[in-house]
Amino acid sequence: MPGVQANRPAEAGDLQEEYARVRALSEALVEPLSEADATLQSMEDASPAKWHLAHVTWFWETFLLRDHGNGYQLYDDDWPFVFNSYYEAEGERIARFSRGMLSRPTLQDLLSWRAHVDEAMQQLLDREELRPLIELGFAHEQQHQELLLTDIKHALFQNPLGPAMWDTTPAARKQADDWYEHPGGIARIGHQADGFAFDNEGPAHRALLEPFALSSRLVTNGEWAEFIADGGYETAALWLSDGWGWVQEKKIGAPSYWRGQQHFTHGGWQDRNPDAPVTHISYYEADAFATWAGRRLPTEFEWEAIARGQEGELAAHDPSGGNQLDDASPPLPIGSDGLFGDCWQFTRSGYLPYPRFRPAEGAVGEYNGKFMSGQFVLKGASCATSRGHSRASYRNFFYPHQRWQFTGLRLAKDL
């Protein structure tokens, strides 16, 4: 089972409320979109907004209602084929890059399906034995809320007319510039049985650290402009070999979404604020920048050790403080205090199993473990991450060339 519940109140009521809140936010996020906007798929990595709405509903219908719903009938027998994402155990599914061809079912069809599933789910939300699965459903839908936001941004960006999804008034503040020092030693790593977590966050274990320091702030747009001005993208010596190949082949010369002094946002083209954290960079870029700056990226263990504090059990850095997704308003990195929010932060740790890791049984076991090759761990949370979804043990992961997420970096150094 991917997650366990410990210190949260055990009343059924909280699941009812959370279910309503999570489901409503998904729908609120597509409200500014037209039916056509919501159908766009701009690349294989991204999915249409409508598809996200449907896929999370498929998850509830399949793993909760079908498996535990006492004679529940599928709303439409043909839909699992089109709205399954990657669960091989759940059978054949549509080729990934064909999701953008799903003009039907209509958005209205999908909202009706959602209402139907929500209605049926009411019977299951007070079954305590299903709590782990239901919490997984929340986490899953929240992950797709973040993807929905980054995918639609990527899709709207393809349009030369530069359409905006929301009106925005971007703001940014300078973050305090300091170092969090750590003396090294044995750190507690991974999910410590203090609430829901994905299977890949456990088992809890220990890691041995050397003395190091982690920056108290994120690298900014202004610093990135200096890196560019200093020839960062033309200096092979700064780059990993694969990164240099990527820069050459794709003719990369700036973070994604940059054009002149502007960058593309959910509010259309906007002037970049030099104090705001840089985002939409790849691992290759993050690593090259750190080399250029004479620093390095932290490991995931270092990052987590700072987030936990020396006691390990208390959250030294509160995940609830930063700039994250609270409601259907435009996600913008603005310079939060603390380690969480604004953007995901690359670590130099490969996304690999923790000691004694075992995937969950059954289809939900495909959730995380099967992606453990070729990717890097990111820590923290972005401005598009649901607030409650953030925690010190969270392991996000992407391939080193991907950058359509709100990805940035926080430097580390040896002590």
Nearby residues of 38 by Cβ (< 8 Å), 6 or more positions away: 30, 48, 49, 50, 53, 107, 152
Nearer to its own copies, 49 or 134 (CB): 49
Nearer to its own copies, 53 or 82 (CB): 82
Nearer to its own copies, 58 or 239 (CB): 239
- Are residues 269 and 386 in contact, defined by beta-carbon separation less than 8 angstroms? no
Nearer to its own copies, 13 or 355 (CB): 355
Give the shortest CB-43-to-its own copies separation in angstroms: 10
Nearby residues of 383 by Cβ (< 8 Å), 6 or more positions away: 323, 324, 325, 331, 332, 333, 334, 341, 342, 343, 406
Nearer to its own copies, 9 or 160 (CB): 160
Nearest to 119 by CA among 78, 51, 65: 65
CA distance 162 to 159: 6
Count how many Cα atoms sit within 13 Å of the Cα of residue 216 in the half-sphere of its side chain: 10
Alpha carbon separation from 233 to 344, 346, 388 (Å, rounded): 22, 19, 37
DSSP 358: -
Nearer to its own copies, 125 or 213 (CB): 213
Nearest to 306 by CA among 274, 347, 335, 247: 347
What φ, ψ does residue 70 adopt, rounded to 5°?
55, 65
Give the shortest CB-95-to-its own copies separation in angstroms: 9
- Are residues 367 and 358 in contact, defined by beta-carbon separation less than 8 angstroms? no
Nearer to its own copies, 105 or 322 (CB): 105
| CA terminus-to-terminus distance, the chain | 39
- Name the β-bridge partners of 408: 345
Give the shortest CB-4-to-its own copies separation in angstroms: 20
Determine the number of helices (DSSP H) and then strands (DSSP E) in the chain: 10, 12
Give the shortest CB-87-to-its own copies separation in angstroms: 10
CA distance 410 to 216: 8
Give the shortest CB-349-to-its own copies separation in angstroms: 7
Nearer to its own copies, 65 or 102 (CB): 102
Nearer to its own copies, 195 or 365 (CB): 365
Which residues of this protein are in contact with its own copies, per CB under 8 A?
34-40, 42, 50, 78, 81-82, 86, 88-89, 94, 98, 100-107, 155-156, 158-161, 163, 186, 205-208, 210, 236-237, 239-244, 283-284, 287, 348-350, 352-353, 355-356, 366, 370-374, 376, 400, 414
Give the shortest CB-402-to-its own copies separation in angstroms: 12
Give the shortest CB-348-to-its own copies separation in angstroms: 6
Give the shortest CB-364-to-its own copies separation in angstroms: 13
Give the shortest CB-390-to-its own copies separation in angstroms: 25
